[in-house]
Structures are given as structure tokens and as C-alpha cells.
Chain A
């Protein structure tokens, strides 16, 4: 059974149809790429699934549970966690503190417990898990640095680390390699593959870097003007006429 089922999903901003009747099914353990030209509605799609926007129509089911009208924190609590296209982190916290805040869903500290230090054992476990995640992303030597002092590539990696700390079942990455140099891109690609292979998470990503998408994804969904244009294996997408047309323009095909 598909872990994520999206049916007839629409999102309008006034007269603008950012997403129109989108259908999508992601299988557990898959790495799914979502691509499309600029302004195609990919990020809107992510925002709707993660609860940042309410859908105008249609349904989203995660693991059989209807999530289309839940708030982002509830959706995260069910195991769907997304990263942002921008650098999204807590600048005044250290790297380790950033990741440890990501353990929020596994903490459940009461106010009383906070004052009397009753959740100490749990916090030691959370910190240990946070260290493992920092280590997984190869940032151990930076763990005590302030997030705001990190170079761009590491800040992007930290974004992923914070999301991983929540232990999602479906991880949604919004342009994970945008702005990275080739070495950083290769490293991030390796990490995303490991997230699926070793942590067993399902991954869905929006990305413009075609090489990364073709390399990484089991299946690709192409969105154009808010609608699904094509879906299939990377080699199918690469050969799909509609897709080439959408990206390059019709004349190029004729020529």
C-alpha cells in the first residue's frame, strides 16, 4: 500500500491555480523526485502536504490517515517532516542544540518536569541520538559551533539533520542541493541514499539539479502549470516528449 496518497489535490491563490487535480502515490521505501519548470507549483505542493497551506480541494492520506486538514505540527507528529528551500535553522543555537530541538517529538517534557529536572534520563537519550545524527551528516567537529557561523553547505546539511532528528517516516526535501558545489552535491546525494537505505525512511524531494534527480530517484513526477505532466522511471522521464517540451519549448523538439 502506498504510504502517501494524494487525490485530486488543488490549491488556488485567488484566481491562480498553483496545483490542479494532482494525483500522486508514493510507496514506502521509495525515493521520489518531483520536478518541473520554475513556478510549476512544486513548492506549493510541498507546503500543502506538510500543512503549511490548507488545500482548496482533494485529499491527502498518509499511511491511511487523512492529513489534509491537520496543522503542520500534527502532520510532523504523524511522521511527515519537510525541509525548506531557504536556510531554515535556529541561528543562536549550536549545531548540536539545533538537532536536539528536532528531537521535540520524542521529548514530551512537562513544565513540572522542566523545573524539577525529571526528564534527565530522556534528555540524555535525546542528546545521544542527536550526536549520532550530527555524526551521520559528518558534522561532529562542528557540533559546538553556532549554526549562524557555519558555511552555506553545512547549514543546508544541518537543515536535513534537524528534520532527521524528528525520525520521520516520510522525509520531504525541498531542493536539498540547491546552491551547493559539486562536492557538496555528491555528499548530499550519498546522504539521501543512506537515509533511505539505512534509516528506512521514504524520501520525496523537489530538485532542479537534473543529474541529482536522475541519479537518486526511483520514480519521478513532473509537474507543469500545477498539473501532473508525467510520471515514471528516470529513463522514461528523460525520453518523455511532453517533459522535454515543457522544459525546452516545443520548437526545439521540431528542430
Chain B
């Protein structure tokens, strides 16, 4: 009951937020929600033990796909968002296929190399990707009479997509499929010997995760109006890793908390200007050494302590 009320409160909060905060913060919130989709989809791969260093590249695949389709072919948004996600999922499958032979560190580095390969295609091919300068003049979204060039309508569109994407990812996490992924992480040999096709599940997790990164990319491209390969390089990827490490991947909520906290820190640290990356690096090191499970593990620790305290209390009575 409490849980439903909390969820309702969050939803209502998000729904009325644009009325309360200024336009600048509406833009920030749009980015925030896109990052939620990105971080949550990234967690899906990590549940089976694969840490990819190419996830933002798949965001780029979605972004480039929608830009090309909308700009050159004049496709409507519903078509480009679906195809953007699909393109990402298919390229994800092609990228993960050779990586299935690797694990851990090998997977991490291999995914970086293959991601760079995809990214360098955008850099090298001026037609149609626009080379290093990327693509400009990506049309804004028009659906029936609403012009999504304005921030507030766009906010609600992204909110809708965020709810849908997170709901699907949440269902996957709780399903048998989600458990199988965690089982693979916990004991790969045992998983195999009880009939789990480990390679198939890892590939599926990677591809589904790329699909949602692609959707996030579509939403980003139409908001920015211009994209270039730098948007999706390893720098951005490192920020994603920091969000997810700070939040922790132990539960579905960890990465979401990580994005929220680190974007707040980022905003608060704006006066630090060029010193900000140093701060983020410091935070990453602190979390990796002192709290490897992220904020998520901290919360469950606190909950455990509270449970213990109440249990002790009742015993005394």
C-alpha cells in the first residue's frame, strides 16, 4: 500500500513539475529522464555480469537513425522512434556476437573497441552522417497539433516514454528471464548445466538493453536538434558508469538513484567549471573503494539495521 502511494506521489510530482519549475529546469528534467532510461537499460546488461563500455554508442545509433529518417525521409516520430530502437537492437546483436567469447575485463575492453568502430563510422562518413561535425537541423517532433519544439510538451512526451521504458525494464527484472540473467552472473557453469543457454541470454540482454538506449537516443536527438559523434564517445560513457556505480546495480532502483544524485551534484558543482571532472573522478574512486555496492547497498544496509532495531525492541517487550 505504502509502495503504491509512494509511486503515485512520484508520478504526480513529475506531472505537475513543469508548472512549478522554470524552463531551464524543465530542460534539465528532460535530460534527467533520458538518462534514467539510459542508466536503467545499462543495468540490464550488468545483471548477467557484463559491463559494457559501448552503451552510449547505442544511444547514438538511435539518435542517428531518427535524425536520418526524419531529416532525409520525413518519417513521422512514431516510425523513427520504433526504428531507432530496432536499429540499435540489431547493431547491438552484431556487436555482442563476437563478445560472447569474452568475459569480465575482456568484454569491457572488447565492447569499447567495437563501440568505437561504430562511432568512427559516423566520424568518417560525411554522407550521410555529417562526419565529425555530426548532423544538424534534426526536425522537431510534430504529433497532430502539438508542437514539441517547446520544452513543456516535450517534457510530457519524454515522461511518457520514461514511464513505459522503465516499466518494461522493471517487469523484465522481476521475471524469470531477469532471474536467469542474475543466475548466470552468480554461477555460469551451474547455469549451463541446468540447461540455460548462457550465450543466448547474454546476447538478448545486450540487444534489449541497446534497444532502450536507442530510444533514449531518439528522444535526445529531437531535443538537441543537432548531434555529433562526440555526444556518444567514451567521455559520456564514463559519466554513465559513474552514475551506475554511485547508484549501484544491486537493485532496479540503484541506477535511477545514481542518475538523480550525480545530476544534482553536477548542477551544484557548476561553479567548479573545469574542475568538475576531477570531482566526479574522486567520487567514483570513493564509491569503488568504500561502497562498491553503491547507494543502493547503503539503503539496504540501513533497512537491515532498522529491522534489527525494531526486532530487538519487540523482544524486550
Are B178 and A114 within 8 A (Cβ)? yes
CA distance A166 to B192 in the complex (A): 12
Contacts of B175 in A (CB 8 A): 109, 114-115, 117
Segment at the interface with A among B95-103, B118-126, B196-204: B196-204
Are A114 and B171 within 8 A (Cβ)? yes
Q: Quick check: is B195 within 8 A (CB to CB) of the other chain?
A: yes
8 Å CB contact of A90 from B178, B186, B208: B186
Q: Which of B176, B179, B192, B194 has the most CB of A within 10 A?
A: B194
Q: Quick check: is A89 within 8 A (CB to CB) of the other chain?
A: yes
CA distance A52 to B208 in the complex (A): 28
Q: Quick check: is B71 within 8 A (CB to CB) of the other chain?
A: no
- CB A50 to nearest CB in B, in angstroms, measures 6
8 Å CB contact of A76 from B168, B178, B194: B194
Contacts of B179 in A (CB 8 A): 93, 97, 100-101
Q: Quick check: is A160 within 8 A (CB to CB) of the other chain?
A: no
Known A90-B183, A105-B194, A166-B195: A111·B208 in contact at CB below 8 Å: yes
Contacts of B307 in A (CB 8 A): none
Q: In chain A between 28 and 79, which residues have their CB closer than 8 angstroms to a CB of chain B?
A: 50, 52, 71-73, 76-77
Type the 1/0 row for B104-119, where 1 means its CB is closer than 8 Å to any CB of A: 0000000000000000
Q: Which of A52, A72, A105, A119 has the most CB of B within 10 A?
A: A72
8 Å CB contact of A109 from B177, B192, B193: B177
Are B187 and A90 within 8 A (Cβ)? yes
CA distance A101 to B208 in the complex (A): 21
Q: Quick check: is B142 within 8 A (CB to CB) of the other chain?
A: no
Q: Quick check: is B172 within 8 A (CB to CB) of the other chain?
A: yes
Are A115 and B194 within 8 A (Cβ)? no
Q: Quick check: is B216 within 8 A (CB to CB) of the other chain?
A: no
CA distance A236 to B182 in the complex (A): 47
Q: Quick check: is B86 within 8 A (CB to CB) of the other chain?
A: no
Q: Quick check: is A81 within 8 A (CB to CB) of the other chain?
A: yes
Q: Quick check: is A163 within 8 A (CB to CB) of the other chain?
A: yes
CA distance A91 to B187 in the complex (A): 9
Known A104-B196, A109-B177: A92·B182 in contact at CB below 8 Å: yes
Contacts of A102 in B (CB 8 A): 194
Are B187 and A104 within 8 A (Cβ)? no
8 Å CB contact of B180 from A71, A104, A163: A104
Known A77-B195, A89-B190: A101·B172 in contact at CB below 8 Å: no
Contacts of A90 in B (CB 8 A): 182-183, 186-187, 190
Are B195 and A88 within 8 A (Cβ)? no
Known A73-B196, A93-B183: A88·B190 in contact at CB below 8 Å: yes
Known A89-B187, A115-B172: A72·B177 in contact at CB below 8 Å: no
Contacts of B186 in A (CB 8 A): 90-93
Chain B residues within CB distance 8 Å of chain A: 168, 171-172, 175-180, 182-183, 186-187, 189-198, 204, 208
Could you list 15 A-B pairs, sorted by A, with CB under 8 Å?
A50-B193, A72-B189, A73-B192, A73-B195, A73-B196, A76-B195, A81-B195, A82-B193, A91-B186, A92-B186, A101-B179, A104-B195, A111-B172, A114-B176, A166-B194
